[in-house]
Structures are given as C-alpha cells and as structure tokens.
Structure 1
Amino acid sequence: MDCGDPEVQVDRDLVERARHGDREAFAVLVHQVSDSLYSVAYRILRDTGLAEDALQNALILAWRRLPKLRDPDRFEAWIHRILVHACYDESQRARSWRSTVRVLPVDEPSGFDEHARVADRDELEGAFRKLTLEQRAVFVLHHYVGLPLVEVAELLEIPAGTARSRLHYALAGLRVALLRDAPPVQEGRLA
C-alpha cells in the first residue's frame, strides 16, 4: 500500500521482528513511516500539537497491538487506520476545551502577491474548517495520501459508498464555500 511517500518501503522482516517484541525493529519502522503519518495527522487535525499528540498515541497503541497484526504486508494500512482513529480521539479531546481547530496553510505556487496568497489561504482554511472530521479524513487520505477510495474505505472501516459520499460532500462543501466569494463569470470570462 502506498501511503503517500513513494520512497518508504516497509521491510516485512522488520515488521515480523517488531511483532515478536524487537524494540529496535519497531524504532526503525517508526522512523520509516513517521513523516508520512505526521503529515496525515496534521492535514486531518490542522494543528501541530494535536497532530503530534495523535501520532504519539497512535505509535504507542501500534506497539501494544503489533503482536495481533495478522498480515505484516498490511502494516502501513494498519498503522494509518490506528492513526486516523487517534486523530478522531484528539479532535474530541480538543473540542471539549477549545471551540476552534486551526487549519493548515496550503502550499501555493510562488509568484503570487503575498496579500492574495494570505486571502486565498484564509478562504481555503475557512472552507476546510467547515467540513466534518470524517469528511476531512476521507479527503486527506484520498487527495493528499493518494489512496483509492476503496482503500480509504477499508482503512477507515466504512463501506465504500460511505467513503464516496463523504468525499462528495467534502468536495461540494469546499466548492460552495470557495465559490461564494468568487467574482461573477460572464460568457466564460471573469467579470
């Protein structure tokens, strides 16, 4: 399973050794996948501290559950599933004491006016903030990590139709929020 970073190849032997209690093997696995996992957590939660906490909790839980992993070849999907659930838990904890979740600034092409970049980023952040956590998770796993919807559904343990629906509503929500303030179009040109 490709979980976003094409250079990361998890060694089945390391997974097997870690499953049998080898802490050094697990440390190597964590080193191999931690950047990819953090990126996913950050994109879902939109907060550095929450993403770090979710990643830490996911890794602790993964270490505890690793002996129960049946298929070492599915390690990446398995650990991403644990991470997404840890993100849900962190979001719930944060919501209990904080009313808003900060949103990740998007990468933008160079050459744009700085004020326009900030305005565009703020619009996108506002639109993304309006999505549900479940919609954000499907969107991030599909568009940022690059997983097919069938794998997203499997990873999140939801029906494929539910994954498609969440992605549809996420895209529709982003489209509506972003087009609300767009300049009007007349005869195929901006007015």
Structure 2
Amino acid sequence: MQTKLVDDARHGDREAFGVLAGASVDRLYAIARLILRDTELAEDATQDALIRAWRDLPTLRDVERFDAWLYRLLVRSCTDIARRRRRWRAELTIVSREPAEPDRASELADRDELERGLRRLNDAQRSILVLNFYVGLPPSEVADALDIPVGTAKSRLHYAIEALRAALAADARSVGNADREGRTA
C-alpha cells in the first residue's frame, strides 16, 4: 500500500502525498524534538522535511526506501535549523510533566538520567542514537537515513554509545559530589 502511495506521490498525486505525510508527521516530529530539544524548532524541521520531500520526491529512485529517505531529509532539516539558530542547548523534554505513579518513579528517574546524558552529546551522536534506539532502526537503515556506509553507521553508533556512557558516568559523579557537599554543609 505504501509503495503505491509513494509511487503515486512521485508522479504528482497530492492526495497520496497527504496520506504519506499524515502517517509520518507524528513520528517525524518526535524524532526532531529529540534531536533539536525544542518543540518549535522540531515543528519547523518537520515542516521543512515534508516540504523537501514533496519537492524532491520525483528524484527518489527506490520507493521501498521512502522511510529511510524521509528520515535523512528530517536529519538534514534538523542540522540546518540548528546551525541557523544556534540553539543546541535548549531543554530536552522526554519525560511528561504529569505526576508520576509510584511504580513508574524509577522509570522516570532513568529517563531523566538519560535526558541529562543526551544533552551532553553533540548533534551527530544524538541523531544516530535517536534513530537507532528511539525510532528502532537497525544500523543498515540508520546508514540509509544518514546517507553513510553501514560500517560508518556502526562505528558512529559505537562511539555515540561510548560518549553517552561517559556522559552518564560524569553526571553520576557530579550528582554524587553534590550529595556529599550537601551533607557536609
């Protein structure tokens, strides 16, 4: 079904593209929000990626790779917007602001810790981790989305995981130091 919609949209069918865009917009926005860490910038990146998709769709050679191609456009839009506006250090909001249920408290604490770790990464590291872990793309599809060789994607993913581990360890040390200072004061 999606293949036919992509093919129809490639040939100028606006309704087919509307269906594709409607099916993708929430996921694209969520990815952009994780990468950019700002809701307004994520909206801009999502809109920009969909505009680029409509404009460049006739050049898509393999309709089976539509999703990876769309992710690549989104990552490029995120990168362009971040460069233009220099807003890399905006707050990332992964955790909802609703009160936590007691049994979810540790899950939310883990998410908060992960959020702090992601803030410490650069845009390329954050992008590859978001595509692999949040979107669930295997390294081969991450490579397609970023337009890089599979080996490069695997290597960058490895280094991004190492950077996240280091960031989480540094965060844990700073929290531990703050706790000790609070007790001695």
TM-score range, shorter chain: 0.7 to 0.9
Structure 1 or 2: larger helix share? 2
Write out aligned runs for 1:89-168 (5 A).
Answer: 89-95=80-86, 98=87, 100-106=89-95, 110-111=101-102, 121=112, 123-168=113-158
Deviation by residue 1:116-143 (Cα, 9 ceiling, x = unmatched): 957972x433321121111111101111
Matched, 1:48 2:30: no
Q: Percent identity?
A: 50
Q: Secondary structure at the match of 1:44?
A: helix
Structure 2 regions of 5+ residues with no counterpart? Answer: 177-185
| 3-state SS in 2 of match to 1:62 | helix
Aligned residue pair count? 171
TM-score of the pair, normalised by structure 1: 0.78
Partner of 1:186: none
Which sits farther off after the overlay, 12-21 or 171-180? 171-180
Residue type of the alignment partner of 2:30: S
Amino acid at match of 1:15: V
Q: How well do the aligned residues superpose, as a CA RMSD in angstroms?
A: 2.8
Provide, for residues 76-126 of structure 1, a one-character-per-residue CA deviation record: whole Å limited to 9, x for no partner: 11111111111111111121xx46222132479842697x957972x4333
Q: Could you state the TM-score of these two structures normalised by the residue count of structure 2?
A: 0.80
- Structure 1 segments (4+ residues) deviating >4 Å: 116-120
Unaligned runs of at least 5 residues, structure 1? 1-9, 184-191
